Structure 1
Amino acid sequence: MKVFLLEHPRRIAPERCNDIANAPLSSSLVTGCIAGMVQSLGHRVEIAEGFLDQLTYDEIHRRVAEFKPEILGVHLVYVWGNNEELFAFLRRLKTEGLVGKIVGYGYYPTFAYEEILKACPEFDGLFVGEPELSVAEWLAAGKPVPGMAWLDGNATIQIRRRDLNKDLDSLPDPVRTPAMMRMAEVNIEGSRGCYGKCTFCYINPYYGENSCWRPKSPERVIAEIDRIIAEYGPRKFYFTDPNFFGPGNIGRERALKLAAMLKERNIKFGIEGRVNDIRPEVISALVDAGFTEMLIGLESGRDESLTRLNKMTTVAQNEEALRVLRANGIEPSVGFIMFEPDSSLADVRTNFEFLKRNDLLKNIFTTANVLYHPQIILQGTSAYRTMQQEGRLILRDTTYEGRAAYSNAAVARLAEIIGRMTNHLFIAMNRVWQGQLNEPSNAAELYQVITKLLVERFENTLARLEAGERIDEPAADNIVAGTNSKIEAIFVTFPKGERYRITDPAIGCGCGS
């Protein structure tokens, strides 16, 4: 049997370019994981990297026609807009008889399967949750199996969840395409799930009821790394696990064992994890083994907010994690929720002072993210259910993404102003990342000017609102226009680039902050 897997083209609206949490980084491996399972069963697989290779739908159509697959699988990634172009393409393939069955998979269809099946009944089914065992069973059965949602003969939506796979070591290696191997880091998975239950996170709901942190054995992880090194030579790796460490002593001992084994490979790698798992002896061992970068979810500088978010961490643990990492030469990337639906100006001020106190407003990209990010409310999270039950959920033309109006008008105004500024910055930076502009020799100095500008604008605007000033829409427009013109004046000095490049898939890190 021939199976064609598609990472569909993704066009993100400029105003959403800083909204990164449409899917966790681990989803970047889901197509490869399915391909590995399909190959292990003796079937032929072809993968089209619609995003990384910048393919048009006409180019994908040609490849499908040449391959003549019985099955087309689509990794459905939410791109902050309707997928009508993709759905029209799938209808075309079905109408022309180029594929027998079409299935979808990923985080988006796991939660929004109803709207997808209604919008595109050409799908013969959608895999919900981790797909490997369901795909294998479906290929053998030829009909819906546990781990799928589908339309029955009466056009009624049906769904059956699958029990957790507790033996991750038994899964084959994911297939990695040439496009993936051109990237700066090789994504690798060491575990799935998390023992936390943050209100904004949909990682455990993706895996299903009673999901938890499930590790692969250190030996299994190292064996995959060794196979990659043997084929491609030494590479830098990035663990896509939302929780690299795992809980308590079990997680600590496993991390130390992995560190000892990784050290023998003489490679560099990055990880993601929770602040309460940052232990000096483990971090020291990992750094000695080649650990160079980390994403941690601080989320707030106020204990009341951390409780509201059900982080099961404290501000003191946030600060201790930063201290330990920096003492070992690691300056982490951080997840941070500056604006919650129920934030007060006092909450925002506490967050801002926390960021200043902990030197998190010195790097342009960290600064732009932590000053702006609101709580993103995606289907599958407990925050989504709470807002829905309270009648506060406002949907964005899709069931998958919602928002809640701020309960404090001053906070809403500040979030709007800062969001417009930082989004303008990221649109400008995107021209650099895509090769349309080149960084001048003094780029670091120019970025510091922008960083200082953003911090000053945030603090000044916050102080005005704290003093009781009402900043109306024209006044807000003036603040934003003045700031953005200064940002644009800096980027005008950047020399034009010579090419357009893709550096990373349109998939966010972490779990939805």
Structure 2
Amino acid sequence: MKILLLEHPRSICPERCNDIANTPLSSSLLTGYSAAMLRGEGHEVEIVEGYLDGLSYKEIEQRLSAMEPDILGVHMVYHWKSDVELFGFLEKVKREGFSRYITVYGFYPTFAFAEILQRYLAIDSVIIGEPELTFAELAGALSWGACLADIPGLALRDRSGNISYLRRKPVEDLDHLPFPVRTEAMFRLPEVNLQGSRGCYGGCTFCYINPFYGHGSRWRGRSPENIVAELDRIMLERGRKEFYFVDPNFFGPGQEGQKRALRLASLLKTRNIRFGIEARVNDIHEETISALVEAGLRHILIGLESGTDHSLRRLNKMTTVTQNERALRILRQHGIEPNVGFIMFEPDSTLENVRANFEFLQRNHLLKSLPVTANLLYHHQIILRGTPFYQKLEREGRLQTTSFSSYEGINIFDHAKVADLAYIMRRITNFLFNRMEGIWSGKVAEPGDTREKYAKINYLLVNTFETVLKALEAGEQFPEELKDLLVRKAENEIDEILTYTAS
């Protein structure tokens, strides 16, 4: 069969420019793995990079018209709005016969499949969880005119409009999967995305990684030898030396996870590469980090999430503040300043929690770099369907959702003073992110006096946060007009700093 896989166009919402949970980075290879599996089954497959290539729907329509695919598969990414343009395009595809069958896959449709199938009749099915095996079975069944109802991992409408599905078990041995197909657009990224594992052995309340893979899912790792075989092929064919492991949890659990990482480090050591990873703080150990740095590790994201043990327990991180600080210390000893995941504002946060978080960040020298400071002083907890916290709010009758979808819960703070501070910092930092988008995305060169300007804005953010926090702790009130005044004042100061050119 002829199959077109679409990474659909999407835009950045100015008010949510730094919200990071649109879809996990690991989803960047969902289309590539699906394409590889389908090609292995003998199907003709084309990937259209609507997002990375900046294509319009008119241009995508032309690609569809030229190929006339039997199946259009869409990696559907939620991006903070009702995507009228995407769903309207899919209706046109079906109405005008560009493709007779449309299926969608990804994190968003896995959790919102019922809503999608009920609202958008142009979509024939939703692939739930890992797409490769389900997509291959779907294509085979459509080729032979077989029944689709018994395909595990496929959600369908029956003739009465009812939706049914069977959950597919996660792939046990990832070494049996073909290496993913990568497009030219993906090779234009600064680093080549590589997946060494799937799932996580943790159970954080805000995370939907394991629910995506299914009930009882767990961390599964490729063998170091299999990973290196893919990496060697990329180096041979493309000459690339920079890689990023998109695994939500690079390390497997316990001692076996450390052994596997050491084995992989020993294989990578002779290849003269640079790479990045993401990890839990309890997996940061001296021996393993030393070996990985020697093998080319240059950057890492660790999920600190909070500066209090109470909040870490509430988030079910299964880590402690002591482990957070130990991980920072080990990484810095090896020359790595980590990127950090952090939730400054939870729905249940008190001012005491926020104060402890702020002091933790200061104590551990995490408010020195402007992009990092702006990120850490603003992030609230994002509540998406599939996460344990979403389900908790639903059980307690506290869940509120957006007007266009039940996929996202609205962050309602229990404490009004926390809400005031979160509002002020979110407005200011979003203004900064949008103001700096050209520079921080690499589209615009940094001016010569960048360091001085960044230092001034960094001080402004930290000082604003602490000043407002102290006022709230002292019992001061922040009506809407005062909050808006503070925000406009900070925005004007940022503009002045960025406009000024040092002589």
Give the aligned partner of residue 452 of structure 1. Answer: 459
Q: TM-score, normalised by structure 2?
A: 0.97
Structure 1 residues 423, 494: CA separation in 2 closer, same or farther (over 3 Å shift)? farther
Q: Does the 8 Å contact 2:170/2:213 carry over to 1? A: yes
- Amino acid paired to 1:74: V
CA distance in 1, matches of 2:231, 2:427: 42
Q: Does the 8 Å contact 1:392/1:404 carry over to 2? A: no
Matches within 5 A, 1:157-306: 157-306=163-312
What secondary structure does 1:343 align onto? coil
- Amino acid paired to 1:456: N
What secondary structure does 1:368 align onto? helix
Of 307, 321, 327 in structure 2, the residue corresponding to residue 315 of structure 1 is 321
CA distance in 1, matches of 2:254, 2:443: 47
Q: Does residue 1:150 correspond to 2:156, yes or no? A: yes
Deviates more, 1:430-439 or 1:63-72: 430-439
Deviates more, 1:76-85 or 1:143-152: 143-152
1:409-444 superposed Cα distances (whole Å, 9 cap, x missing partner): 100100000010111011111132456643201112
CA distance in 1, matches of 2:159, 2:80: 31
Q: Does residue 1:416 correspond to 2:439, yes or no? A: no
1:247-275 superposed Cα distances (whole Å, 9 cap, x missing partner): 11110000000000011111000000000
Q: Does the 8 Å contact 2:268/2:295 carry over to 1? A: yes
Give the aligned partner of residue 489 of structure 1. Answer: 496
What secondary structure does 1:3 align onto? strand
- Amino acid paired to 1:444: R
What secondary structure does 1:455 align onto? helix
Q: Quote how far apart the aligned CAs of 1:403 are.
A: 2.2
Q: Does the 8 Å contact 2:347/2:413 carry over to 1? A: yes
- Amino acid paired to 2:34: I
| Matched residues, number | 495
Of 358, 361, 364 in structure 2, the residue corresponding to residue 355 of structure 1 is 361
Give the aligned partner of residue 502 of structure 1. Answer: none
Give the aligned partner of residue 501 of structure 1. Answer: none
Give the aligned partner of residue 426 of structure 1. Answer: 433
CA distance in 2, matches of 1:417, 1:96: 48
Of 478, 481, 491 in structure 1, the residue corresponding to residue 485 of structure 2 is 478
CA distance in 1, matches of 2:501, 2:64: 41
CA distance in 2, matches of 1:467, 1:437: 43
Q: Quote how far apart the aligned CAs of 1:168 are.
A: 0.6
CA distance in 2, matches of 1:85, 1:304: 44
1:268-313 superposed Cα distances (whole Å, 9 cap, x missing partner): 0000000000000000000000000000000000000000000000
Question: Unaligned stretches of 5+ in structure 1?
Answer: 496-513
What secondary structure does 1:393 align onto? coil
Give the aligned partner of residue 21 of structure 1. Answer: 21
What secondary structure does 1:372 align onto? coil
CA distance in 1, matches of 2:358, 2:169: 43
Structure 1 residues 38, 293: CA separation in 2 closer, same or farther (over 3 Å shift)? same
Deviates more, 1:446-455 or 1:249-258: 446-455
1:305-351 superposed Cα distances (whole Å, 9 cap, x missing partner): 00000000000000000000000001000000001111110100000
Give the aligned partner of residue 367 of structure 1. Answer: 373
Q: Does the 8 Å contact 1:110/1:206 carry over to 2? A: yes
What secondary structure does 1:465 align onto? helix
Of 382, 388, 392 in structure 2, the residue corresponding to residue 386 of structure 1 is 392
Q: Quote how far apart the aligned CAs of 1:167 are.
A: 1.1
CA distance in 2, matches of 1:234, 1:13: 32
CA distance in 2, matches of 1:436, 1:351: 33
CA distance in 1, matches of 2:332, 2:103: 46
1:75-115 superposed Cα distances (whole Å, 9 cap, x missing partner): 00001001211111111111111102100000000001111
Deviates more, 1:59-68 or 1:132-141: 132-141
Give the aligned partner of residue 69 of structure 1. Answer: 69
- Amino acid paired to 2:334: N
What secondary structure does 1:264 align onto? helix
Of 405, 410, 417 in structure 1, the residue corresponding to residue 412 of structure 2 is 405
Q: Does the 8 Å contact 1:428/1:491 carry over to 2? A: no
- Amino acid paired to 1:257: R
What secondary structure does 2:393 align onto? helix
Q: Does residue 1:467 correspond to 2:474, yes or no? A: yes
Q: Does the 8 Å contact 2:242/2:274 carry over to 1? A: yes
CA distance in 1, matches of 2:429, 2:178: 41
Q: Quote how far apart the aligned CAs of 1:234 are.
A: 3.2
- Amino acid paired to 1:415: A
Q: Does the 8 Å contact 1:106/1:128 carry over to 2? A: yes
Give the aligned partner of residue 36 of structure 1. Answer: 36
Q: Quote how far apart the aligned CAs of 1:124 are.
A: 1.3
Q: Does the 8 Å contact 1:437/1:494 carry over to 2? A: no
Give the aligned partner of residue 90 of structure 2. Answer: 90
- Amino acid paired to 1:123: I
Q: Does the 8 Å contact 1:121/1:151 carry over to 2? A: no
Matches within 5 A, 1:39-54: 39-54=39-54
Q: Does the 8 Å contact 2:449/2:501 carry over to 1? A: no
Q: Does the 8 Å contact 1:187/1:238 carry over to 2? A: yes
What secondary structure does 1:395 align onto? coil
Q: Does residue 1:440 correspond to 2:447, yes or no? A: yes
- Amino acid paired to 1:244: F
Q: TM-score, normalised by structure 1?
A: 0.95
Question: Unaligned stretches of 5+ in structure 2?
Answer: 143-147
Q: Does the 8 Å contact 1:368/1:454 carry over to 2? A: yes
Give the aligned partner of residue 500 of structure 1. Answer: none
Identify which of structures 1 and 2 has the higher relative contact order when contacts are C-alpha pairs closer than 8 Å and 6+ apart. Answer: 1
1:32-51 superposed Cα distances (whole Å, 9 cap, x missing partner): 11111111111111111111
- Amino acid paired to 2:295: A
Q: Does the 8 Å contact 1:338/1:372 carry over to 2? A: yes
What secondary structure does 2:53 align onto? coil
